[in-house]
Chains A and B, each alone.
Chain A
Amino acid sequence: MAHGGGGQLTDELIADRILPRLDNDVLRSLGDSASLMPTFNDRVALTIDSYVVQPWRFPGGDIGRIAVCGTVNDLAVAGAVPIGLALSIVVSEGFAMADLEDVLDSVAAAADEAGVTIVTGDTKVIDHHDPPEITLTTAGVGRRPLQHHPDLARVQPGDRVIINGPVGDHGLAVMLAREMPDMQTTLRSDAAPLNRVIEDCWHGVGNGIAFMRDATRGGLAGVASDVAAQTGWHVVLREDAIPVRPAARHAADLLGLDPLDLANEGKVVIVARPEAQDRVLALLGAHEDGPAYTKPTVIGEVTDQRDGVCELHTTLGGRRVLQKPYGEELPRIC
């Protein structure tokens, strides 16, 4: 199970089993979001993701919503404007037709919100599972209007690390819905299509943005530690600047989890030049019309130390390394 958690074990699976068998130049870059297609002069981006979530419906969203948001966001952070999505549905026998309709309505609503159309699809039914399951896969194609692309190679010392809102809500909302369904909570998933706000930033700031990534599995810790490890620069995040809702803080404490390690479905980390910082914050703030867009904040910066480590300066005044989570996050005992 832990191999699917999006942490270090997932990286091992890809590097040790998948890449050696399917190796090519484009795949080797391991673009988490969308890979380039050199034949189209780098102007076309392609991405695919499968979605499994238990329960399939949770506060703030459902599997249909994240299947659209996740793929649209992957295209957006690669600097691409989504053109169309393909949707594949696998349900097990016994999955209620009314529930399937709800999921599809949710897909339609999220696609509408993102301004993207579902242009093709596929449906399969498999043997009975208890409880009945649904898996969605979405592939997306996007067009890259600009010559340059967000790229880790463009990250340089002095760059600011910016996030568009509070972290941890999605992971906690899903975990509470699954593990403690009786618990009353105000936490809701932040699942949202970010393509419009990201396009505004990308086109409004242009070269001032070095890199973008949505902080899904592995959370903010996963993205920030990847930026440090893959650029070789030392990245500093300030704990007191990272937005975390009080409800998320308490739920994470209860489960013994760190909000920084938890999945989000509506959060983007933007690494931008210091002179572009205010413009990025203003453009992110202009979209403060949904749960995903509140409180855009500068949470850290890239320093000129070359150790490839991401360090968190804690509220207490201490420091610790921020690492990519290992695998499936396990709630603790007491």
Chain B
Amino acid sequence: MMPSRPQDSASVIRRLHEVAEQIPDRVQLMEVCGTHTMSAFRSGLHGLLPRNVELLSGPGCPVCVTAQGHIDLMLEVAQRHDVTLCTYGDMMRVPGSRGSLESIRCDGADIRVVYSALDAVRLAERDPGRRVVLAAIGFETTAPTAAAALLRAHQLALDNFSVLACLKLVVPAMTAVLSQPRPKRLGVRGFLCPGHVSAVIGSDAFVPVVDDFQVPCVIGGFEPTLMTAAIVALLEQVRDGRTELENLYPQVVTPAGNGIAQRWMNEVFEPVVTRWRGMGTIPGSGLAIRGAYRGYDARRVYDLSTPPDNEPAGCRCGEVITGLVRPDQCSLFGSQCNPTHPIGPCMVSGEGTCQAWFKYRRAEVASRRSRPKIRAKAVAT
């Protein structure tokens, strides 16, 4: 995909430093998308940021935001002898209170990794003797596919397919981050909005963030140069004291979003209060299956209730995903918790902030030693 304003990376980085120099104080920005997290770390973007600019990873990684209780729920249903649980790959290794999906699969549980929610329906269709449960996690990017799968199962009148909905909505999470009590001088002054989610919900969905919280929002693409250009646009707003919604990804994102995907979601799901890891419960931030489709709701079919969140002792994933602490400020980071033996979800997923830090932080140290000559002015505190 071509950027709307073709720019080479060197000139975007130069512009980034020029604009940052015109801002006297420290600026924290937040991205809320796992793909942005990965793109930033893979391209070494953090090491190129001016000294007074920090890019935090917010609640955008689907695995990382999933409450411990919801993971235990998946383990519970997967351990029933006649159930096949279908899940996305990076959910497999997230530790629950007792084991992970990967470890209970070793003990004989029937767990399949799927790439499309419809694969789970096909599995149920092929084998009527098997009871298939789709563990639906993620945001507005995966919710329409879970809805489509449920509608397909309904159309086929399958009675051996259900959905365990642990889906979440991005905008309520952003407003929750802004509503959170924070230490003085620490506050998100701009959101880099997720490209994929925005394609579904439309850019207009971020209007409440801009209007009610007076925080700039810029929708950006994933290619590192596009992402950097979106950061420049956010800094320009901060510099000028503007609070606007800008869409720098118009090739993919329209104001109204994807009407078909929204219709499927609305047909099947309704917004409910739900639990997030480290953020507690947020009203209207989750999706539950509507009463008309209760026969496909795994919670009802298997009479499940979400157990309390027994988050691992010492794990600070919840504070990491809201930008309150950096991964290296967690005492487990790197020693007890690492990608080989993860304790919290942020270390499991490739999109997780902790794993990204673990994989790439040595590079950040190295690049700090040889930063580009262009510098922002001294930070006024």
Q: Chain A interface (Cβ within 8 Å of chain B)?
A: 1-2, 8-9, 12, 179-180, 253, 256-258, 309, 311-312, 314-321, 323, 326-327, 330-334
Contact = CB atoms under 8 A, between A and B. Distances in A.
B102 to A, nearest CB: 8
A208 to B, nearest CB: 30
Interface in B186-233: 196, 222, 224-225, 228
B63 interface: yes
A311 B34 contact: no
Contacts of A319: 44, 47, 363, 366-367
B340 A326 contact: yes
Nearest to A255: B115
Contact of B224 (A316, A323, A327): A316
A1 B141 CA distance: 29
B89 interface: yes
B20 to A, nearest CB: 16
Interface of B: 9-10, 13, 34-35, 38, 41-48, 62-63, 88-93, 102, 113, 115-116, 137-139, 141-142, 196, 222, 224-225, 228, 339-340, 349-351, 359-360, 362-364, 366-367, 372
Contacts of A2: 93
Nearest to A179: B115
Q: What is the predominant secondary structure among interface residues of chain B facing chain A?
A: helix
A37 B351 CA distance: 45
23 contacts: A8-B340, A179-B113, A179-B115, A180-B116, A311-B363, A314-B42, A315-B43, A316-B44, A316-B45, A317-B13, A318-B367, A319-B366, A319-B367, A323-B359, A326-B339, A326-B340, A330-B90, A331-B89, A332-B349, A333-B89, A333-B90, A334-B35, A334-B142
Given A327-B340, A332-B351, A333-B62, A258 B44 contact: no
B42 to A, nearest CB: 7
B150 to A, nearest CB: 18
A117 to B, nearest CB: 40
> Which are the 5 A-B pairs with shortest beta-carbon distances?
A318-B44, A320-B363, A334-B141, A330-B89, A316-B224
A256 B138 CA distance: 15
Nearest to A256: B350
Contacts of B42: 258, 314, 320
Given A320-B360, A320-B364, A330-B89, 20 more contacts: A9-B340, A256-B38, A256-B90, A256-B350, A314-B44, A314-B224, A316-B43, A316-B45, A316-B225, A317-B9, A318-B43, A318-B47, A319-B366, A319-B367, A320-B42, A321-B366, A326-B340, A331-B88, A331-B89, A332-B88
B362 A330 contact: no
Nearest to B359: A323
A330 B350 contact: yes
A316 B9 contact: yes
A311 B142 contact: no
Contacts of B92: 330
A334 B93 contact: no
Max count, chain B CB within 10 A of own CB: residue among A258, A314, A319: A319
B228 A331 contact: no
Contacts of B137: 333
Max count, chain A CB within 10 A of own CB: residue among B88, B142, B222, B366: B366
A235 B106 CA distance: 39
Contacts of B113: 179, 330-331
Max count, chain A CB within 10 A of own CB: residue among B137, B196, B340: B340
Nearest to B106: A1
A12 B340 contact: yes
Given A12-B340, A333-B90, A316 B350 contact: no
A270 B102 CA distance: 37
Nearest to B43: A316
Given A315-B9, A316-B224, A316-B228, A334 B62 contact: yes
A180 B116 CA distance: 9
Contacts of A314: 42-44, 224
A332 B89 contact: yes
A317 B349 contact: no
Contacts of A8: 340
Max count, chain A CB within 10 A of own CB: residue among B44, B137, B362: B44
Contacts of A332: 34, 88-90, 349-351
A332 B63 CA distance: 9
A36 to B, nearest CB: 31
Nearest to A331: B89
Nearest to A176: B115
A326 B352 CA distance: 15
Contacts of B138: 333-334
A309 B362 CA distance: 9
A334 B34 CA distance: 8
Contacts of A331: 88-90, 113, 115
Contacts of B46: 318
B54 to A, nearest CB: 15
Nearest to A326: B339
Contact of B45 (A253, A256, A318): A318
Contacts of B43: 314-316, 318, 320
Contacts of B228: 316
Given A309-B362, A321-B359, A315 B351 contact: no
B224 A315 contact: yes
Nearest to B196: A334
B360 A321 contact: yes
Contacts of A253: 222
Contacts of B38: 256
Nearest to B93: A330
B48 A318 contact: yes
B180 to A, nearest CB: 24
Contact of A180 (B90, B115, B142, B350): B115
Contacts of B47: 318-320
Nearest to A9: B340
Contacts of A334: 34-35, 62, 138-139, 141-142, 196
A97 B322 CA distance: 57
A327 B47 CA distance: 27
A331 B90 CA distance: 6
B170 to A, nearest CB: 11
A45 B358 CA distance: 38
